[in-house]
């Protein structure tokens, strides 16, 4: 009988020990989906820059489209180029017109032409021709070739160079004026080319440039601990 009691006591102690050893801490964590309360959708949080707007801006001012998409370095290159071309165009064309006016004034002083005379450019070319020292030489040739209607007979049309030197100098002044006019044409062409290049360049660059807007969101994360008999909510934010 004593042996049976002893065995029962030992069995009870072992059962208690096994029960205690078998206790396992269970902790569960439940996470819900992210709740975004400040942005409408994904498209609103990441918006692509408009290539068309960038290209149209570059047609207006080369480099403006690059600045729009954030390419500051390239924008400055195009801005500087455009400023140089504009300055060159204005300076060369202004100087060209000044030299043309100077040539007319020079002819008035040394050939007796009327500086105020409004005539086409052909007239100023004729009086600078080395074969026509005076209107008489020109009129004589027109008679020979059978074109008397082209002769100059009006008092304001007549000229006579005092010396060949002055006529040569007159041609040099006009040649300088013409050269600067040609240069101004090159600057104008450079401005057009600058727009064409920047138009293509910004189209390529805009493919790899997007506007990233920061996500403003709050994350709610329910927590449950069975071991510690605790419930809670984890709150995290991203602004």
Alpha-carbon distance of 118 to 224, in angstroms, equals 98
Which pLDDT score, from 0 to 100, does residue 211 have?
A: 43
Region of 146 (left: φ > 0; alpha: ψ -120 to 50; beta: rest) is left
Residue-by-residue DSSP string for 136-188: HHHHHHHHHTT-GGG---SGGG--B-S-HHHHHHHHHHHHHHHHHHHHHHHHH
Q: Which pLDDT value is given to residue 75?
A: 94
Amino acid 52: pLDDT? 87
Query: Which pLDDT tens digit goes with each residue over 198-207?
Result: 999 998 888 7
pTM: 0.63
223 strand-pairing partners: 29, 232
pLDDT along the chain (239 residues), means of 10: 51 48 44 45 51 90 92 94 97 96 93 76 91 94 92 90 95 96 96 95 78 46 58 54
Cβ-based neighbours of 230, under 8 Å, separated by 6 or more: 223, 224
Residue 194 near residue 184, CB atoms below 8 Å: no
**Could you tell me if 187 and 2 are in contact, meaning their C-beta atoms sit under 8 angstroms apart?**
no
- Token duo for residue 75: 């924008």
Helix (H, G, I), strand (E, B) or coil at 239: coil
Q: Supply the pLDDT for residue 34.
A: 47
């Amino acid at each position: 009988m004593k042996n049976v009691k002893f065995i029962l006591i030992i069995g009870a102690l072992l059962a208690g020990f096994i029960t205690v050893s078998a206790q396992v801490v269970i902790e569960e964590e439940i996470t819900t989906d992210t709740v975004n309360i400040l942005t409408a959708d994904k498209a609103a949080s990441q918006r692509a820059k408009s290539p068309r707007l960038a290209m149209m801006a570059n047609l207006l001012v080369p480099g403006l489209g690059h600045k729009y998409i954030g390419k500051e370095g390239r924008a400055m290159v195009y801005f500087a180029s455009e400023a140089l071309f504009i300055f060159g165009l204005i300076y060369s064309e202004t100087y060209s017109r000044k030299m043309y006016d100077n040539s007319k004034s020079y002819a008035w002083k040394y050939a007796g032409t009327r500086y105020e005379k409004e005539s086409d450019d052909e007239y100023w070319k004729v009086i600078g021709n080395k074969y026509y020292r005076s209107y008489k030489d020109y009129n004589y040739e027109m008679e020979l070739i059978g074109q008397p209607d082209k002769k100059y007979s009006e008092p304001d049309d007549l000229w006579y160079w005092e010396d060949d030197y002055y006529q040569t100098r007159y041609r040099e002044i006009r040649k300088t004026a013409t050269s600067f006019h040609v240069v101004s044409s090159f600057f104008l062409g450079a401005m057009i080319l600058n727009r064409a290049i920047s138009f293509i360049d910004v189209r390529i660059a805009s493919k790899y440039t997007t506007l990233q807007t920061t996500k403003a969101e709050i994350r709610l994360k329910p927590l449950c601990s069975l071991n510690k008999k605790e419930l809670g909510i984890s709150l995290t934010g991203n602004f």
